[in-house]
Chain A
């Protein structure tokens, strides 16, 4: 992938991620989140991770976002009114974020190995779905079962949480 495309998609992703945080209207935030995830999926594809890119779009841009929008509309949230700004809180937040960015730059600067170009990969007979499937069902059988149980428990939990009787 050319640098142009990479920076374009990164830019889109970061821009819309910022919009998620900045927007006052939750619906606008959610829609920005979709665009950001689409950019992210493009980056996955640029890394030859086609399967991950596709499920990123399916799960996040599809399922999760619908859930978000549904909840926003269910709760009937409007754009927030302006509240009194909590100065110490904002100050503290900005300090932490600044420190974090500093650490990030230090890390990336110090990581010599990361300056190399990506090594080439061969395009094997099977697609990456096949490889992921083999890894998943051979090496990670047990974690797969555990995740399945987790999803089951989560769905039961959601049903319980959503019941009216909850005090």
Chain B
């Protein structure tokens, strides 16, 4: 049978892949996608714990509400982040992180 550890392991691997993307890729949009992967890895483990912590025959809905909040905030974060990227691109004509080394310009 599938156990909680399996889910946690998959979640951790997904997180690692996302982290690798952040560390190794140079394109800021790809980095951003990798960040989304990491967020979702956290969601997966949260839902796993929620399903594991059964009380009165019901999963723990607090965790699912937290996931709901994470998804909401992540959506806001994506929109703001992409707007920043667009503004950055207008100013610098690039999406490579190596070309963006100063905060103020």
Contacts and interface: CB of A to CB of B under 8 A. Distances in A.
Chain A in direct contact with chain B (Cβ < 8 angstroms): yes
Interface of A: 1, 3, 6, 10, 13-14, 17-18, 20-21, 26, 29-30, 33, 36-37, 40, 43-44, 47-49, 51-52, 55-56, 59-60, 63-64, 67-68, 71-72, 74-75, 77, 80, 83, 89-90, 92-93, 96-97, 100-101, 104, 107-108, 111, 113-122, 124, 128, 131-132, 134-136, 139-140, 143, 147, 150-151, 154-155, 157-158, 161-162, 166-167
B24 A93 contact: yes
Contacts, number: 232
A152 to B, nearest CB: 9
Main secondary structure of the interface of B (DSSP, over half): helix
B100 interface: no
Interface string B6-49: 11111011101111110111110110111011001001100110
Nearest to A166: B87
A10 B80 CA distance: 30
